[in-house]
Structures are given as structure tokens and as C-alpha cells.
Structure 1
Amino acid sequence: MPTESLPPAPAQAADSVRPRVEQREEAGGQWAVARGRWTAMAMSSRTTWDALEKSLAGAPAQDGRAWDLRPIDQLDHIGAQLLWNHWQHEWPARLEMESQHKAVLDQVAQYTCRPPAEPGKTLAEHLRAFAHIGPRIMFVARDFLRLIGQLTLDIGKLLRAPHRAPWRDFSGHLYHFGATALPITALVGLLIGVVLAYLTSQQLRQYGGEAFIVNILGLSLIRELGPVLAAVLIAGRSGSAITAQIGVMRVTEELDAMRVMGIPHGFRLVMPRVLALAIAMPLISMWTSMAALIGGMIAADLTLDIGPAYFMTALPRAVPLSNLWLAMGKSAVFGVLIALIACYFGMKVKPNTESLGRGTTSSVVASITIVILVDALFAVLFKGVGFRA
């Protein structure tokens, strides 16, 4: 009695329709044989797609091998496009396929366009593009110098008529920029001092120079790290707030209303913020340096057994007082620059929310960059100040 043939197992049936490329060796050379269903439906699975990419990678188009597409069950335009892209838009030297597959591939080859190659720029075009940067920098420098000039005139007006100055705005900004920033600056300074003292103590212990931790912490924190760290924190905290405040006034057309009412922007908006930061920044810098020194003192006591009494006694001898005046002086410069940059970008905000966010980000980045550059300039100009012979 004849036996009926059993249907193929589901796994075998799925494997038979899976698109793949197999390798075959013949006397005439090496062949790449495509099998399965090369359709969008068959390649929709991520597993199938990864396996197909792996099998295609094993049959590169550059080695001149022959291709046999006759075992393909189905071929749609997606599968044909995949093959055509794998062949780098060129027909293989030897290709065997059915007529219906050739019709699909011919259509794909006919309507597939290569992406246009970007022409290389000539030297004149590069110079022309570079030449556009100069006028932009000049415009920015012109507007910034105009802002500085207006600030100078407003300060002169303040000195002539102090009773007309916006003292309430100044006191409010001084509180927000200074008093409210004390907790975060103290915390960051304390942690920086602990970290710096701990890392320094590991090196000094190897050479028996534990006592020099007072010199290292005192000079680095009071002269450099304290002012720069405070300036970076204030640039991210208060500088962004200044830009956002003035930018919102631009979006809500309050600046236009002030201009119509005859209220000068520089005297009521720029000058109080600049003066507030110029006064607050040296105090915040000194506060941050003190917190960092306290953190370093604690770490030195725990790691090197250098007590707070010795630390406080050796600190004035290790760090001359001129370092403190230098730190406070450049902190005041940092405060003026941060406020001016923040006000400049706030005034340049266009009446839309996208420009407001972009201006706030640019303000913080520019402020931090200028602070670091000016600090490097101070380090070069005053390299002989604050060191004992």
C-alpha cells in the first residue's frame, strides 16, 4: 500500500523561503547562489535581515564571482534593489537568472540613480567662506563695544545723579546673584578641596613632603581654582538667568514698551546687573576658596595627620596676601564680563522661543570660554606676583 508523503516541518518550510546567498565551487570558478524569497515580506524580520546581510558580506561584488539567481522563488523590487546596491550599481561579469527576475532587475537598474557627488571646494571658495567670518566677528565686536560704551555712559550718569539710579533692582540682583549662590558654591568648593587634598597627599607622602600640602592647596585654591570655579558656576547659574530674563522681555515685547516709554535699556537692565555681579563675584570667589580650603584641611587631617592648627598657621606664610587681592580683582573682571555677555545675548534674542533657548546656551558657553581665556591672560600678566623668593 503506497504511503502518503508527509508535509515538510514548519522549520524546514521557513528555512526554504528564507532569503540567503550560498557559495558554490565549480570548475569555472566560484559562484554565489541566491535562494529563497527575496521580497519585502520575507525580509521584514530583523533576524532574517541580519542573516541576509551576513551572507551577502560573504559574497563581495569586487572579487568577480559569478551569480546564479535561478533558485530564487520570488523577487520583488525591494530584493532587486538590495542586490543592485550590493553589486554597486554594476552588473556582474557572469549572471544566470530567469526572465521574470531579469525584468525586475532591469527596471531597478534603469531607475536607480547614484547620489550626486559633492564637488570639492576650490581654494578661492575656501578663502571666500573664510572671508565671511571676519565681518561677523567685527559686527559682534562692534555691538559688544557699543554695549561697553553705553555702560560707561550709564555709570557716569549714575555718578552725576545717584538718586535716580535703580537701587531696588541693584539690591535685588545682588541678592539673587550673590546670597542665593552661596550654598551651591560652598558645596562644590568643599568637594573640590577634599578631592584635591586627597590626590595631592598620595604623591607628597611618597617623597616625605606632607607639609607642602598647605602651599599647594593655598596657592591653587586661592589664586586660581577658587575664582575660576566660582565664575564657571555663576556663568551657568546667573549668566543664563540674565539672558533668559532679558530674552523673555524681548519675546513678550517689554523691551519695545520700555523704548516707547523712554526708559533706557542700558541704565535699567544692563548696569544694575553688571554692578551686582562685579560686587558679588569677588565675595563669592573668596567664599568658594574658603570652603575649598576647609575641605582640603579636613582631608589633610585625615590622610596626612596635619591638624587644622598647623594648617591655619602655615597658610599665611605659604600664600602671600597679594594672591588674595589678585583673586578678588580678576573675580570682579569675571563678574563684569559674565554680566555683559549675558546681557548681550539677551538683547540679541529674537521674539521666538527657539531663539531664546539658543541664546541662553550661547551665553553660557561664551561666558565660560571668556572666563578661562581671561584667567590665562591674568596668569601670564601676573606670573611674578604672589610668590615668595
Structure 2
Amino acid sequence: MRSVTSPTLRISQSSPATVTISGDWTVHALTDGHCLHNLHAELLSCQQRSDPIWDLCGVNALDHTGAQVLWHAWQCRRPAQLRVHANHQGIFERLEQVSQRPLPKPPKQRLNSIMQLGMVMLGFFSHARDLLTLLGQLIFDLGRFLRHPLRGPWKELSANLYRMGAQALGITALVGILIGIVLSYLSAQQLRTFGGDLFIVNILGMSIIRELGPMLAAILVAGRSGSAITAQLGVMRVTEELDAMRVMGIPHGFRLIMPKVLALALAMPLLVIWTDVMALIGGMISAQALLGMTPEFFVYKLPEAVPLLNYWIGLGKGVTFGILIALIACHFGLRIEPNTESLGRGTTGSVVIAITVVIIADAVFAIIFSKVGY
């Protein structure tokens, strides 16, 4: 087997200058050490000379990699004075033909808007199908859990309750107090103008207990717990933990999906009550500062201003919002592909879709119970 000869380049000082190329100009010879870097520097110096003579008759071996190095040094055109061996002539002829060939134009896309609308609709139906499949599996898992409660995932359920419920008390309390203060302050400014100071209890009670409390808690939980659920399932997909569970015969729905849905369905009504209480406390603080209304009077007037049915509507919203957020988060988590880009995109989509669905569900509640609780 013939040994590889290092590629060399010599430049004569005659006029016109002669660039003599010799050795093996192949991928193996060019990638040996810093050979290619040194040749690039010498080829750049050759470009500064006017119409040199290129002598390639001393080249022992030439492949497409070596020919490409020389072709780019010639600025993608054959030099006027070129001496090359007949065996290597065909490579430069092919390079010349390819460089003269025009680039293909991208095909014109007709009905682009209609095609995009169709893709959106297909994506929507794909998500709806997978979500219905997930809901059906959840119903079967709940039936299995009710038949054999002692074999249920109690540890997973308690852990999810702690993470989604107890650890969310701080942020929901802070946002609830601030919203109550802001709403009470704005309402007091208008009511004081018309002498209707006492109606601030009605405004705060109805708006917070029936609408703002469940909505605030749901949005915070969707951004906090919903994204965590999607990220957790997505990381399990990336690290192939879900595949390992399937190989071991551990069902995803019974051990992963159902505990999260049940935990959020139980935690959300409690968080709604907690958010309502904190928002009303913030409203009482602002009402006392602006209108001189004592907290005792506020608490005394609250049951009269807000019928009891509104509390149950708020709790029903909490349960519904919790189930929707958990299902959407699990749905997007299971659709994560095994790469980091899909993980970020899926987590973002989970939060956005969950908040949108919560707002739509709240509008449906408002329409259904429009004549109830007033």
C-alpha cells in the first residue's frame, strides 16, 4: 500500500509567478495535523498575485476534498493558466459545471393560508383525540381505584397534594390580598362619590367569591403546578423513564396521571377558599382605611350580601378548573418528544392552553348560572 505524501505548495518569484502543487491532495492528507490551516494561508497569499500559473502536474492523488480546497482558492472559477494531469481534469470539469448550474427556486406554495388553516385544524383534532383518550383512561383508572382502594397510589396522591396545594398557599395569599386591596380601593373611590359606602361589601363579596377567587387560583395553579406537571412528564420522556415503566408493566395512567388529577381536584377548592379569604381580608383593610368601615361590620354584612349558593358555585369552579388544568398538563407532558426544544415548547403550550381553557370554562359557568345566586 502506497504511503500518503503530504500536500505541498511552492510559489516561484518569476513573473508571472508559478504556483507548483504536489503531493497527495486527499482528505486523509489534508486533515493530518495543521496541514490544511497552513495551506489555506499560502493559498490566500496566492490570490494576491495577478494571474499566476498553476502547475498541478506534480499531484500524486486528488479527491473531491482537495479539489474543493483549490476551487475555493480560485474563487470558484478555473484559472486562465492551469496545468493539470489528465486523470484529474474531470474533477475540475465537474466542479465547473456544478458552479455554473443555477440554484433551484423554491416551489411556489399555492393556497398557503388555506393549507395553514388545515394544519391548525388537524392539530386541534389530534389534541382533542388524545385528550379524550386520556380522559377515558382516567375514568377506567378511577374505577380501578374505587374497586381496590388499598392498592391505590396513596403516596403519589399525598405528595402531589403537598406540592400543588400546601406549597401554593404563599403565592395565592399574596396575590389574593393585593387583588382585594386594589379592588376595594377602586370601588371605594366610586362609592364614596355617590354615598354608597355600604355596597362595597356586596361588590367585594360577589366579585371575589364568585369570580375572582376561583379565577385567580386557577391561573396561578396553571402557571405553577401545570407547568411543573408538564415538565416532570417531559423529563421522564427525555430520560426514557416512561419507556422503562412500560417495560416493567407499570401503567402510566394509574401511577402518574390519576394521582395528579385527583390531587389538583382536591387542592383547587381549598385554594379557592384560601384565596377568597385572603382577598376579602385585603378588601377589609382597604375599606377600613378609605371608608372607616370596621372589619367586624364587614364580616357581619358579608353573609347578607352574598348568598350561600355563590360559595358552592365557586367551589364547583375550583374542582372543574383543577381537573382541566391537570388533564391539559398531563396531555402536553405525554406528547413531549425526547429533545429539550420540545420540552420547552410543550411546557409553554401547556400553560397557555390551560389558562385559555380555564377562562372559557369560567364563561360557560357564567352563562349556566347567570340567574342563580343573586
TM-score, scaled to structure 1: 0.68
Aligned position for 1:242: 229
1:230 positional shift = 0.4
Counterparts of residues 61-72 of structure 1 (less than 5 Å): none
What letter matches 2:248 in structure 1? M
Alignment partners' CA distance in 2, 1:177 and 1:170:
10
**Aligned pair partner of 2:290 in 281, 296, 303:** 303
1:131 positional shift = 2.7
Counterparts of residues 275-290 of structure 1 (less than 5 Å): 275-290=262-277
Once the two structures are superposed, residues 45-71 of structure 1 have per-residue CA deviations (whole angstroms, 9 ceiling, x without a partner) of xxxxxxxxxxxxxxxxxxxxxxxxxxx
1:130 positional shift = 2.3
Aligned position for 1:206: 193
Secondary structure at 1:306 match in 2: coil
Aligned position for 2:139: 152
Secondary structure at 1:386 match in 2: coil
1:353 positional shift = 1.3
The reply on whether 1:317 has 2:317 as its aligned counterpart is no
Alignment partners' CA distance in 1, 2:352 and 2:226:
10
Q: CA RMSD in A?
A: 1.6
Aligned position for 1:265: 252
- The number of residues matched between the two structures is 270
Change (3 A) 1:356 1:187: same
Alignment partners' CA distance in 2, 1:118 and 1:326:
56
**Aligned pair partner of 1:220 in 194, 197, 207:** 207
Secondary structure at 2:372 match in 1: coil
Alignment partners' CA distance in 1, 2:280 and 2:112:
55
Change (3 A) 1:216 1:118: farther
Aligned position for 2:319: 332
Change (3 A) 1:257 1:228: same
What letter matches 2:173 in structure 1? A
1:331 positional shift = 0.7
1:132 positional shift = 3.0
1:117 positional shift = 12
The reply on whether 1:190 has 2:174 as its aligned counterpart is no
Aligned position for 2:148: 161
Secondary structure at 1:349 match in 2: coil
Moved more, 131-140 or 340-349: 131-140
1:133 positional shift = 2.7
Once the two structures are superposed, residues 93-140 of structure 1 have per-residue CA deviations (whole angstroms, 9 ceiling, x without a partner) of xxxxxxxxxxxxxxxxxxxxxxx9997x76x55334323332222111
Aligned position for 1:364: 351
What letter matches 1:353 in structure 2? T
Change (3 A) 1:198 1:118: farther
Once the two structures are superposed, residues 270-303 of structure 1 have per-residue CA deviations (whole angstroms, 9 ceiling, x without a partner) of 0000000000000001100100000000100010
TM-score, scaled to structure 2: 0.70
Aligned position for 1:343: 330
Alignment partners' CA distance in 2, 1:300 and 1:344:
44
What letter matches 2:335 in structure 1? K
**Aligned pair partner of 1:181 in 168, 180, 186:** 168
Aligned position for 1:382: 369
Give unpaired runs (5+ residues) of structure 1: 1-115
What letter matches 1:283 in structure 2? L
1:358 positional shift = 1.1
What letter matches 1:255 in structure 2? L
Aligned residues with identical type, % of pairs: 61
What letter matches 2:239 in structure 1? T
